Structure 1
Amino acid sequence: MTWHIESERDLYRDKWVHLTTADVLLPDGRHLDHRIIRTAAPGAGLVTVDEQQRVLLIWRHRFITDTYGWEIPQGSIREGENPADAAVRETEEETGWRPRQPIRRLVYTQPSPGIMTSEHHIFRADGADHIGAPKDAFESDRIDWVPLDDVRELIAEQHIVAGTTLVALLLLLVDR
């Protein structure tokens, strides 16, 4: 039972996002007018856990939802860059901490496949070394090592709500 895109029409496009309207043929023969958000590049992020079982997180404001929350560092993969290298680069730029090798794949996720093509490659590192101030200090209000034991409560209090961060941290808790 697959849905098939019969045609698409551009609504908006820039270097970050491409919005289309699609005529989708449903398995029962009906048509659906649907919007599709195509993102420019996949993303990569990193869950860094230290020897004290704390995870490196950034506290940031998301202006679209006007909310604050803890998130893992993540961002776009540059052209020609492999996902693991992008995850390390984003962590260094956003936190000022250099993750220790080896970097291991944790999870691949599509945060909202019913509306967008966004895909995230998430990795894990055990430990990090402080290399200085974050290059992208505007990304967060605070950078901290948060105890893994606090993650469930932070989720319950809605201090961790970003989908990719939720997936990564919950998987980390299950794998403990």
Structure 2
Amino acid sequence: MHHPTENPWQISSEKEIYDNPWINVTEYQVINPAGKPGIYGKLHYKNLAIGILPLDEDMNTYLVGQYRFVLDQYSWEMPEGGGPLRTDPLESAKRELLEETGLKAGEWTEIQRMHLSNSVSDELAIIYIARGLQQFDPEPEDTEQLIINKVPFIKAYEMVQNGEITDSLTVAAILKARLMQLENRL
């Protein structure tokens, strides 16, 4: 019997299926924990997922609306994006916040690290709360057609509760921040 922290999977072989600047897909021939042969696919992300929950002095936040190609639907989210693995995640967060909202923050607090789909990918997300906000001009990427919506934080929480916000990073950030608020840690 393996110790719970030891890897019970045995890799027989691996084959790269797909690779681009953002992701890599590898298929593994494996012996599973029950000792039987099988396959396992792994989606490797070449960037960190970075999310920023900006909160102003009046407890408003800024949601970013955009049409998500993969979902084929419109999505309301906090400012978020990718950060190169070898770059300080906070620097990536600062860049994303300015890019998508035109905001710069004087105070940053990391509130969450999480894996987004640990059954098929290794994507790691880091979420920050940004405070002490100053407004500048947004600098969106060519792929982004964004609408910025300043809303009371409690309204964003209600949007999570009623399913209007479904983006996992945003849901996690808003629920964590609400818990912190209720515990007087925000």
On whether the aligned pair clears a TM of 0.5, the verdict is yes
Larger Rg: 2
Cross-structure match for 2:166: 161
Runs of 5+ unmatched residues, structure 1: none
Match of residue 20, structure 2, among 14, 17, 28: 14
1:52-111, CA deviations, whole angstroms, 9 ceiling, x for partnerless residues? Answer: 1111210111111112121111222236421111101111011111122x2111100111
TM-score in terms of structure 1 length: 0.90
Matches within 5 A, 1:78-117: 78=84, 80-100=86-106, 102-117=107-122
Structure-2 separation of matches of 1:140 and 1:121: 24
Aligned to 2:176: 171
Which whole-Å CA distance do the structure 2 matches of 1:13 and 1:93 have between them? 27
Which of 62, 65, 81 aligns to 1:59? It is 65
Compute the TM-score of the two structures, normalised by the length of structure 2.
0.85
Alignment pair present for 1:145 and 2:150: yes
- Give the AA of the match of 1:119: L
Q: Which runs of 5+ in 2 are unaligned?
A: 182-186
**How far does the alpha carbon of each residue in 1:10-34 deviate from its partner, in whole angstroms, 9 at most, with x for none?**
1111111111111232222012212
Q: Are the aligned partners of 2:100 and 2:146 in contact in 1 as well (CA < 8 Å)?
A: no
For each residue in 1:133-160, what CA deviation from the matched residue of structure 2 results, as whole angstroms up to 9, or x when unmatched?
3343752431122212113431244321
Check the 8 A contact 1:3/1:24 in 2, yes or no.
Answer: no
The number of equivalent residue pairs is 175
- 2:184 paired residue number: none
Seq. identity, %: 23
CA contact (8 A) 1:68 1:159 kept: no
Opposite residue 35 of structure 1, the aligned amino acid is G
User: 1-side partners of 2:101 and 2:10: how far apart?
Assistant: 41
